Amino acid sequence: GYIKIKILPYDFLFPPLPKILLWPMQNLSLILENFPYVRNFAGSLFIWAQKPAEENWKRPMSSLVEHDCFKGQLSVVVPSRNEELNIPPLIENLQACYGEYIKEIIIVDDNSRDETAKVTENLALKDPRIKLIRRSMPHGVGRALRDGFAATKGDFVLTMDCDFQHILPELTGLFDAVADGADMAIGSRFSRESVLLNYAFTKILANRGFHILANLLLGKHFRDATNNLKLMRKEVLKSLVLESDDFAANAETGLQPILLGYKVEEIPISWINRSVDMGFSNFNLLNTGPNYIVVLFRLVFRKWMGRDIVRCPPVKQSIKT
């Protein structure tokens, strides 16, 4: 019944190293493990078998609610573009795992060409907590996040993509961290306990390069501030000002709280690349990558010059009426 079986060498082994070299070597191992030929020298094997997605999401999930502080206070923001296939399983599994937490699920339809809006509207008829925001052109993840954030009413905000529908049980780590006092918890794809499946080598290289540079320039230590799987308190959200219109806004939602002094924790999560039945990602490294660098150097300049990290007024919303 499997549609794909893959065996990958995993976990390069290095000799004992000074602490200062350990972190660069860990990043190097993540890159080498996904390099087509070099990874043959890895230390062990990782076996992955994938069942058809339709059967996966229909398998019922159990409630994972543990913390009273989140009950009825969680706003979930999902920027979506051409996600008609993924919205139903994502919402169904969110309701199953964290239904008692959820105050609202805000689907931001970023000018989709498919039936994303219609599918969401049909689901909203069954559950009034599901809300649809329909955006006009121009589209962009940053624009969608701004509009979605502006509509939130809960004391806690979870932002995520449809890609994360298969790992919802792992979100318990984010809730645990915030319940224990963190202001924000980020799902980290690049912790040593994380698992990446079918993640493009070019994206790994770009991500690791960006974070190594960001850590050096900002004098901080974080592994995956750019992932759009974040749980934050409402006061953190209110302090954010997203200036980027595209995927680079994910860097702003991660770096701004760190530089503003909030307590940010990174929680290891898995990441599974989209299968054919899930549609295609809208992320384009060549088009978007330079904008991440712009975000980084803008924040570096403000930090080094002693200026406010967040200083620009919010951008006007672009919601269809």
pLDDT at 272: 78
Q: Tell me the angle at which helices 249-259 and 201-218 cross, rounded to the nearest 10 degrees.
A: 30
Same-domain pairing of 134 and 44: no
Same-domain pairing of 174 and 31: no
Do residues 317 and 146 lie in contact, with contact meaning Cβ atoms separated by under 8 Å?
yes
308 C-beta neighbours (distance < 10 Å), count: 10
Same-domain pairing of 134 and 19: no
What is d(CA 250, CA 247) in angstroms, rounded to the nearest whole number? 6
Same-domain pairing of 25 and 96: no
65 Cβ contact partners less than 8 Å away, ≥ 6 residues apart: 71, 98, 99, 100, 101
Supply the pTM of this predicted model: 0.77
Residue 164 lies inside a defined structural domain of this protein:
yes
Q: How many domains are contained in the chain?
A: 2
Residue 57 lies inside a defined structural domain of this protein:
no
Same-domain pairing of 105 and 22: no
Same-domain pairing of 41 and 123: no
Same-domain pairing of 42 and 72: no
Same-domain pairing of 76 and 203: yes
pLDDT at 193: 80
- Report residue 150 as tokens: 């502006």
Q: What is the pLDDT along the chain (321 residues), one digit of tens a residue?
A: 454 555 555 554 455 556 676 667 666 666 666 666 555 555 554 555 545 444 444 555 678 899 999 999 999 999 999 899 899 999 999 999 999 999 999 999 998 888 999 999 999 999 999 999 998 888 899 999 999 999 999 999 999 998 777 789 999 999 999 999 999 999 998 887 887 777 777 888 888 899 999 999 998 989 999 999 999 999 999 999 899 888 899 999 999 999 999 999 999 998 877 554 444 455 556 677 789 999 999 999 888 877 677 654 444 444 442
Residue 316 lies inside a defined structural domain of this protein:
no
Same-domain pairing of 105 and 174: yes
Residue 61 lies inside a defined structural domain of this protein:
no
Specify the CATH number for the domain of residue 295: 3.90.550.10
Residue 320 lies inside a defined structural domain of this protein:
no
Phi, psi torsion values for 125, nearest 5 degrees: -65, -25
pLDDT at 154: 97
Residue 188 lies inside a defined structural domain of this protein:
yes
Residue 310 lies inside a defined structural domain of this protein:
no
pLDDT at 136: 83
Domain boundary residue among 12, 28, 52? 52
- The range of the structural domain enclosing residue 38 comes to 4-52
Torsion sign, CA atoms 294, 297, 303, 307: negative
Same-domain pairing of 12 and 96: no
Q: What is the 3-state secondary structure (H, E, C) of the chain?
A: CCCEEEEEEECCCCCCCCHHHHHHHHHHHHHHCCCCCHHHHCCEEEEEEECCHHHHHHCCCCCCCCCHHHCCCEEEEEEECCCCCCHHHHHHHHHHHHCCCEEEEEEEECCCCCCHHHHHHHHHHHCCCEEEEEECCCCCHHHHHHHHHHCCCCCEEEECCHHHHHHHHHHHHHHHHHHCCCCEEEEECCCCCCEEECCCHHHHHHHHHHHHHHHHHHCCCCCCCCCCCEEEEHHHHHHCCCCCCCCCHHHHHHHHHHHCCCCEEEEECEEECCCHHHCCCCCCHHHHHHHHHHHHHHHHHHHHCCCCCCCCCCCCCCECC
Q: Tell me the angle at which helices 285-304 and 249-259 cross, rounded to the nearest 10 degrees.
A: 20
- Report residue 269 as tokens: 């999560």
Same-domain pairing of 245 and 288: yes
Residue 309 lies inside a defined structural domain of this protein:
no
Same-domain pairing of 37 and 109: no
What is d(CA 125, CA 303) in angstroms, rounded to the nearest whole number? 47
pLDDT at 319: 41
